[in-house]
Amino acid sequence: AKRVDFRGAEIGDPEWIWELNRCQDFPLLTAAWLVSGDDRYADAAADRLDSWIEGHPPGRGIAWSNGFEASVRAISLAVALDALRGSAHLPPERAERTLLSLWQHARWIELGRSTGSSANNHTIGELVGLVAIGCLAPELADSPGFVERGLAGLEHEVDLQIRSDGTSVEQAFGYHIFVIDLLLVATAVLDAVGHPLPNRIRAALGRSGDALWAQIGENELEPTYGDSDVSRAIILDGDERRTGRAVACAIAARLGHAKAARTAGALDATGYWLFGKNGAARFDALERACGPGSVTLRDGGLTILRRGAARVTLDHGPHGHLSIGAHAHADALRLDVSYGRHELVVDPGVGSYVQRKLREAFRSTGFHATVDVDGKSSSTPGGPFLWTTHAPAELMFESVEGGLVLAAHRGYSRLPDPVAHTRAVALLDDESIVMLDRLEGRGSHRYSQRWPLHPSLQLDSISSRAVALKGETNGLIIAFVASHKMDVATAFGGDEPLAGFWSERLESVVPSLLISADVEASGPVHIGALLVLYRGDVAPCADIELDIEDNVTRVRVAAEGAGAVVDVRFAPPRVSVTRNLDAPPSTPRLSVGRGAASA
């Protein structure tokens, strides 16, 4: 199996074969049997268990190509064994074959551990696989050792991979959900055999619950930053994917976590299967925490601003895990905007793992709501799951109560003429959003402020200074201003270059609008944007002006007759807002420096 070359796109994508060989239908079939009493489900589970073991001798074929895949499959096999044990569906000879296979899985996991720069969610999965085998196959003489080594590794890894604010070091929300799911399975199998849950694992789940609460408010959609292949540790329900709300439900049921309960809303089937009647009673008895409001997750580098139904997220975090940053995207200073359950300015999603052109595009800077410099990404790609340089980002100022944040990154310092990017964001009381980018380089560069939009938004109108967009029940206006000549452009399903696409899940790609405000100039460049969210058929008027002085850049905005001034200072860093001013004149104007003006 180790000799199987599965990395070339010309031979296809191994992901689908791996997922089939995770055998996650086995636990689902046994769950159906336990609920219904219908022996057909148990017969199907037992027959498939036998068939898989017979058809996949250890170390042969792509199903055995790495320890991680063996570990996820081992969870399924161990749970099926535990469910069928003692029934007529698992006679002694069948049980012996299954136990032998689980021992072989454990040995394969231990011989093929993910280490070094690849020690990410795969490492967590491998360790949980060992714990599941050790707990649910006690007949094996090596089971106590599997549990001991698995837990020792997990206690070490959870502190490395889940930060103190509860975010994942991989900078990929989908993989954080997967890691939580794995840890919940480990917790459930430990509970099943009366083994105490180590404090570090308990704490990691608790702070993950805090991070989920911060990122997913009531009636809000879940974030989608970074990679995701919607992997699950175990399938015990009919849901298409495991969500942040679902794992929050299980955290609340097991730990009595009030914030996670607020995020979850209600107990789901998998939460009940994992933690039973006691978990359900604990969940129901919880007094829910209040909603998250605006918050900064400092370790993960996320500031989430909320006003009414508007949620604005600025990414100012590190770039992925360890040296390769495998599942991170080049999205430093990315801005995502949603309005209730409507996504507006979006992370583009994952795209593809094996289609090279899609892979390169979907994790590039140009596909994200940030600024692309000279057509290059802020971090340098070195392969499909490798970055050779990382864009270090820094939070410079924030006032979540005031809806204000200022951050910078130095990813473009690697250019022959280095460029520094600083971004200020203000979420105003009327739910409009003001954003200012400052790009500092000496020579001439091509700057492109990007706005990837959800496919539900259609282009209504476009001018040299603004775009109007319509959704099913709401709309969005983006008005632009710049310190130099600016072009506003759109892309929709473009092929050369690839631009204007959105991906709901791995290997699923649809066209969507990409708006860009493009400037080619030398010296410090400022590009501002005003986003006005609205409901109904009539778009409001919106305008934005820019005044650049020695120590402050002043952004004046107006929408529907109400105005505000956002002052951005870069040294010392600070953002402030004066609201409810008279609206600026309807004729757009731009003043640069002292007394200089251009239309």
Q: What would the DSSP string read from start to end of 318-373?
A: --SSTTT-TT--S-TT-EEEEETTEEEE-------SS-HHHHHHHTSGGGSSSEEE
Is the link from the previous residue into 27 a cis peptide, with omega within 30 of 0? no
Nearest residue to 167 via CA among 215, 208, 123: 208
Instruction: Note the pLDDT of residue 1.
Output: 58
Enter the CATH code of domain 295-598.
2.70.98.70
Phi and psi at residue 339, in whole multiples of 5°?
A: -135, 100
Radius of gyration of the chain from its Cα atoms, rounded to whole angstroms: 26
Do residues 226 and 178 lie in contact, with contact meaning Cβ atoms separated by under 8 Å?
A: no
C-alpha separations of 480 from 214, 369, 374, 431, 596 in Å:
30, 14, 20, 17, 19
Do residues 283 and 152 lie in contact, with contact meaning Cβ atoms separated by under 8 Å?
A: no
Q: Which amino acid is at 245?
A: R
Which pairs from 389-393 meet CB under 8 Å and 24+ separation? 389/414, 390/318, 390/319, 390/320, 390/325, 391/319, 391/330, 391/332, 392/318, 392/319, 393/301, 393/315, 393/316, 393/317, 393/318, 393/319, 393/332, 393/333
Which tokens hold the place of 444?
Answer: 């001439």
How is the chain split into domains, by residue range? 295-598
Instruction: Note the pLDDT of residue 128.
Output: 99
The residues with which 491 forms a beta bridge, in sequence order, are 514
C-alpha separations of 433 from 403, 406, 533, 541 in Å:
9, 14, 9, 14
Q: Which amino acid is at 288?
A: R
Q: Which amino acid is at 586?
A: S
Count of Cβ atoms closer than 10 Å to residue 537 Cβ: 7
Q: Is the pLDDT of residue 583 over 60?
A: no
C-alpha separations of 415 from 323, 325, 378 in Å:
20, 20, 10
d(CA 139, CA 135): 10
d(CA 91, CA 49): 13
Nearest residue to 66 via CA among 136, 135, 146, 7: 7
Task: For residue range 227-283, list pLDDT tens digits in order.
Answer: 999 899 999 999 989 999 999 999 999 999 999 999 999 999 999 999 999 999 999
Residue range 442-468: mean pLDDT, rounded: 97
Residue range 68-88: mean pLDDT, rounded: 98
Residue range 170-194: mean pLDDT, rounded: 98
Quickly list DSSP for 190-221. Answer: HHHTTPPPPHHHHHHHHHHHHHHHHH--TT-P
Q: Which amino acid is at 440?
A: E
Count of Cβ atoms closer than 10 Å to residue 15 Cβ: 16
d(CA 147, CA 201): 14
Nearest residue to 180 via CA among 67, 115, 257: 257
Instruction: Note the pLDDT of residue 474.
Output: 87
Task: For residue range 123-152, list pLDDT tens digits in order.
Answer: 999 999 999 999 999 999 999 999 999 999
C-alpha separations of 483 from 518, 580, 583, 595 in Å:
11, 25, 21, 14
Q: Is the pLDDT of residue 118 over 80?
A: no
Q: Is the pLDDT of residue 8 over 70?
A: no
The residues with which 162 forms a beta bridge, in sequence order, are 168
Residue 587 — pLDDT band, cuts 50, 70, 90?
A: very low
The enclosing H or E element of 447 equals strand 444-452
Q: Is the pLDDT of residue 585 over 70?
A: no
Instruction: Note the pLDDT of residue 16.
Output: 87
Residue 580 — pLDDT band, cuts 50, 70, 90?
A: low
Q: Is the pLDDT of residue 487 over 90?
A: yes
Do residues 261 and 283 lie in contact, with contact meaning Cβ atoms separated by under 8 Å?
A: yes
Q: Mean pLDDT in the chain?
A: 94
Residue 589 — pLDDT band, cuts 50, 70, 90?
A: very low
